[in-house]
Structure 1
Amino acid sequence: MAAKVEIYTWATCPFCIRAKTLLKNKGVDFIEYGIDGDEIARSQMQERANGRRSLPQIFINDEHIGGCDDIHALDRQGKLDNLLAVESAN
């Protein structure tokens, strides 16, 4: 079983689109939370993301990965595939 991937997004956010494209190109299924204009959902995301309010915010197996630049950096470093292959302990 693959890792649980969650991503908080806005529909027109170019960074969100870029992060989702990376995941799709890797064949990763993910749960997307579209929070366009929803301040309650954004506050919940902010709480999970250690105070970060920028989008996207990405979680793998409930671990906060960060945003678009962070997930692309993990990919360039060769670390993303290992994170995506690890099953959730939950």
Structure 2
Amino acid sequence: MAKIVIYTTPICPYCVRAKHLFQRKGVNYEEIDVSRDQNLRQQLIERTRQRTVPQIFINEQHIGGCDDLYALERQGALDPLLAQ
């Protein structure tokens, strides 16, 4: 099973959508809430060069945000990534 890491904040509707897709697919993920920890926020920026959430990694590969995740799903490319 794939290792999924998702950087989030609690009030982000896109974070909720991304997590919901993973939950529907029955896959586990590690959620890193960057809302209250500047060190985690800095880690996010260094790792992705982005400030926005969600930022999603599957098997250490940066997928991008919620729109990118759903684009993979529409293309049929998400399930093969999750099966690795």
Same structural fold, with TM-score higher than 0.5 when normalized by the shorter chain: yes
Residue 35 of structure 2 aligns to a residue whose secondary structure is coil
1:57 aligned residue:
55
The runs of at least 4 consecutive aligned structure 1 residues that moved more than 2 Å come to none
Hey, which of these two has a bigger chunk of helix by percent? 2
Could you list the runs of 5+ residues in structure 2 that have no partner in the other structure?
Answer: none
1:43 aligned residue: 42
Identity among equivalent pairs (%):
54
Q: Distance in 2 between matches of 1:33 and 1:15?
A: 14
Long gaps (5+) in structure 1:
none
Partner of 2:81: 83
Deviation at 1:36?
Answer: 1.0
- Structure 1 residue 37 displacement after superposition: 3.0
The TM-score with structure 2 as length reference comes to: 0.96
Q: CA RMSD for the aligned pairs?
A: 0.7
Paired residues in the alignment total 84
Instruction: Give me the TM-score of the superposition, normalised by structure 1.
Output: 0.90
The code of the aligned residue for 2:82 comes to: L
The aligned counterpart of 1:71 is: 69
Deviation at 1:46, TM superposition (A): 1.3
